[in-house]
Amino acid sequence: MGVNCQSSALSPDHLLACIREAAHSLGFAHVGVADVDLASAEPGLLAWLAQGFHGEMAYMAAHGLRRARPAELVPGTVRVLTVRMDYLPAATPADWRARELRRLTEPGEAVISLYARGRDYHKVVRGRLQKLADTIAGWVGPFGHRVFTDSAPVLEAELAGRSGQGWRGKHTLVLSRTAGSTFFLGEIYIDFALPLTEPEQGHCGHCHACLDACPTGAITAPYRLDARRCISYLTIEHAGSIPEDLRPRMGNRIYGCDDCQLVCPWNKFARRNALPDFDERHGLGHAELLTLWQWSEEEFLRRTEGSPIRRIGHARWLRNLAVALGNALRVAAPAQVPAVRAALQQHLAHPDPIVREHVQWALRQRDADDPAGGSARA
């Protein structure tokens, strides 16, 4: 039975119940409420930035402590509504983690992070958050608010943890006992009080599977991530040349990396979402490197329209693919070598110097006169 939300004077508890019901109808799995006092998170943020772990993400430092001070980012904010939206497609099989891990061992496959195979989550979550805000306004009247989803200086994981969405895992992602980590986070900064929801304590225990699984050692210690070594950062946020010592470790991952999530025991509880927005598009869950390498810029833009992948641009897409093809060339069966080399040579004269450099590196991963492989060079 639904909550009666038509009363002219809803109590704070009753209003929160109404908000939760409305959020669930919009595809959100959970709603929490956080306070705006994040002072205890500031030293950790400053230390992380001081070590340069944010890499080239200058925006992380540019906003300073506003990230930890919601009332400075949006004046008048007294509470933060947090939401969680699961992103595994409805048709995801029970053995999805084993299947994804198996694809990582097949060099010719092009592995794209699960969250990026469907529609851009920024558009999905933000649009539904605004609908939720409009619904709330229908109950309480006009109110000061702003919606966010990975789009502004917001300490999303901190707010999520404090409001009961889950706890910060050793890989630094938010984990839920009932949903694992395969979800997006969103927030609505609001200018009126609601009852705070209880935070959840950590449940990682002695497990260190994510630290062991990280291909590049980006998880430098429990709860500490050096983005400069993270494949998600390198393939998405990083615009320049990928450090050569990290390229072999990237394997066939061309956009993002899910390794730490695939090995996390809590993801046996990962939930599916019935929304069609996150359903796989253009066969990106089983695409091959050579197929994607052939996409012209026009085809790339057409096939990634409405996708989070589009924002990296065609040149960065080719850069990532060149690294993966170089890794594939190194271990390819002799009969496959000519096709891989010929494909790479198509872009030896690419107008972008970063693409050219990565193609040259890829071709050096196997001597032309070494059909058996095994003579990779930097």
> Which residues are catalytically annotated?
150
Spatial separation of the C-alpha atoms in residues 363 and 341, rounded to whole Å:
7
| Whole-number Å distance between alpha carbons of 55 and 57 | 6
Alpha-carbon span 288 to 95, nearest angstrom: 21
Rounded to whole angstroms, what are the CA distances from 289 to 19, 110, 230, 285? Answer: 45, 5, 21, 12
Retrieve residue 335's tokens: 């009969």
Q: Is 148 helix (H, G, I), strand (E, B) or coil?
A: strand
Count of CB atoms situated within 10 Å of the CB of 119: 18
Q: Which helix (H) or strand (E) holds 230?
A: none
Buried b (16+ CB within 10 A) or exposed e, 48-74: beeeebbbeeeebeebeeebbbbbebb
CA distance 367 to 371: 8
